[in-house]
Amino acid sequence: MKENSAMQKLPPYLFARIEKKIEEAREKGIDIINLGIGDPDLPTPKYIIERMAQSIYDSVNHQYPTSAGLLEYRKAVADWYYRRFGVELDPRTEVLSLIGSKEGIAHISFSYLDKGDINLVPDPGYPVYGIGTILAGGQPYIMPLLEENNFLPVLEDIPEDIAKKAKLMFINYPNNPTGAIADLDFFEKSVEFAKTFDILICHDAAYSELAFDGIKPPSFLQAKGAKEVGIEFHSLSKTYNMTGWRIGWAVGNNEAIEVLGRFKSNIDSGIFQAIQYAAIEALQGSQDSVKEIQRIYQERRDVALAGLERMGWQINPPKGSFYFWVPVPKGFTSASFAEYVLEKAAVIITPGNGYGEYGEGYFRIALTVSKERMEEAFDRMFNILGKVEL
C-alpha cells in the first residue's frame, strides 16, 4: 500500500526526530539537558487541577461534548479577550473551541484550500503552517522573516500575482522561533493587505502572555477591521502550563469560525467537558500564576543571555515567547551544530533549518528547564566551545 502524494512530500515532524534522539541518548545512560522542545516544565496551577478533579466525577461530562465547545467555555474566552485586549467577541458566533490550537491551525487549510491553492507562510516558522497547507493539497509561499526586518514579513515583497492567488496568510507574534513581537501598526498593514487581495489572516497568538520587561503584546484583533479579514488562534498551553490538556480556541471572523467549526464537527467530537470546566477556571480565576510564570521565564531568559554572552554571542534578548534565536558559530550548519552540542555536551538545541530554509544558520533554545539546569547546560556548552567565532 502506498501513501498519497501529500504524505510522500511530508518529512517526519521536527520534534518527533528530536524526541527520538533524546530517547536514544537516555537509553545509553546519558544525562540530557533538553533546551529543544518548548514544553513548559512548570506544573499546571493547583486551582485549575482542583476544578478538573471536581468536574471529572460529574457523569454529565462523560458523554459526547458539543463540537463547538460549551457555551460557558466560549463565554469565558470572550470575557478574557475583553479584559486582556478590549476586544468584544460574540461567544456564539465568533468563538470556537479547539483541541489545542495546533489542530485548528492545521485544519483551517483543509477548510479553505482547493488543490494547488496558495497559503502565505512565514519562514522561519512553526512547521504546522506549511504542513497543514501541504496535507490539504495547497502550496506554501514563503514569506522570509529576516533579522534586518525585525523578523516581520515584508508584505510589499509578495508578488501581486501570488497575493491574488493566496487564500490564507499565517502570522505569529510573539514569534516562534525568533521571539520577535509585532505592533498594531504591522497588524493594521496586514489587514489592509488582506482586504486588497481577499485573504483570510490566521494569527497564532499562543505566546501573547509570555513577554518580558513589562511588554504587553497586542492581539491581532485589536487592529481596525481585523475581524473582517481574520481569525486568531490561542491556547491555554503556554499561559497556564497546560500543554498536555489539549484545549484552545479560534476567535474572530464569524464566517471563518463557522467554516472551521463545520469542518471540525465532521472529523472530531470536541473536548472532554471536564477539561473545558478546568479551562474556564483558568480564564476566570486569579491571574497571579500567569505573572509568576512570566517572572520565572524572564529570570531564565537572563541566565541564558549571560551564558550566551560568556561564549561570545552578542544578541538582542527576546521580547516575547520563551525562545532564543541564535546564529550558529562559523564552520557549522544549524544541523551539524545541534548534533555537535548533543554529542559533546549532552544538550539538546533545535536546529533552525527545522523551521524552514530561512532558519538555516540559526538554532533555537527553549527556556523550559530550571535556572539551575540551564546554568549547567551553558557551562557544558562553554566547556566544548569556549569563545565562539561568528
Cell numbers for 356: 524552514
How many structural domains does the chain have? 2
Does the predicted TM-score (pTM) go above 0.85? yes
Spatial distance between the Cα atoms of 304 and 282, rounded to a whole number of angstroms: 29
Residue 200 is part of a domain; what is its CATH number?
A: 3.40.640.10
Whether 110 and 258 share a structural domain: yes
Are 254 and 298 in the same domain?
no
Q: Which of 249, 269, 284 is the last residue of a domain?
A: 284
Each residue's pLDDT tens digit in the chain (390 positions)? 888 888 887 777 666 767 777 788 878 888 999 999 889 999 999 999 999 999 999 999 999 999 899 999 999 999 999 999 999 999 999 999 999 999 999 999 999 999 999 999 999 999 999 999 999 999 999 999 999 999 999 999 999 999 999 999 999 999 999 999 999 999 999 999 999 999 999 999 999 999 999 999 999 999 999 999 999 999 999 999 999 999 999 999 999 999 999 999 999 999 999 999 999 999 999 999 999 999 999 999 999 999 999 999 999 999 999 999 999 999 999 999 998 999 899 999 999 999 999 999 999 999 999 999 999 999 999 999 999 998
Pull the grid cell for residue 166: 493566496
Q: Please check whether residues 174 and 302 belong to one and the same domain.
A: no
Is 132 in the same domain as 211? yes
Query: Is residue 310 assigned to a domain?
Result: yes
Which amino acid does the sequence have at 83? R
Query: Do residue 160 and residue 253 come from a single domain?
Result: yes
Cβ-contact 353, 294 below 8 angstroms: no
Which domain does 292 fall in, by range?
Answer: 5-44+288-385
Q: Are 295 and 262 contained in the same domain?
A: no
Between CA 223 and CA 185 the distance in angstroms is 8
Distance CA 50, CA 43 (A): 13
Residues 36 and 54 in one domain: no
Determine the Cα–Cα distance for residues 77 and 249; give it in Å rounded to an integer.
8
Looking at 284, 299, 315, the residue that finishes a domain is 284
Q: Is residue 390 part of a domain?
A: no
**Domain-ending residue, one of 284, 309, 325:** 284
User: CB-based contacts of 180: which residues, under 8 Å, 6+ apart?
Assistant: 145, 150, 151, 152, 173, 174, 318, 319, 320
CATH of the domain at 341: 3.90.1150.10
Spatial contact of 349 and 338, defined as CB atoms under 8 Å apart: yes
What cell numbers appear for 265 in the block?
464537527
Residues 144 and 264 in one domain: yes
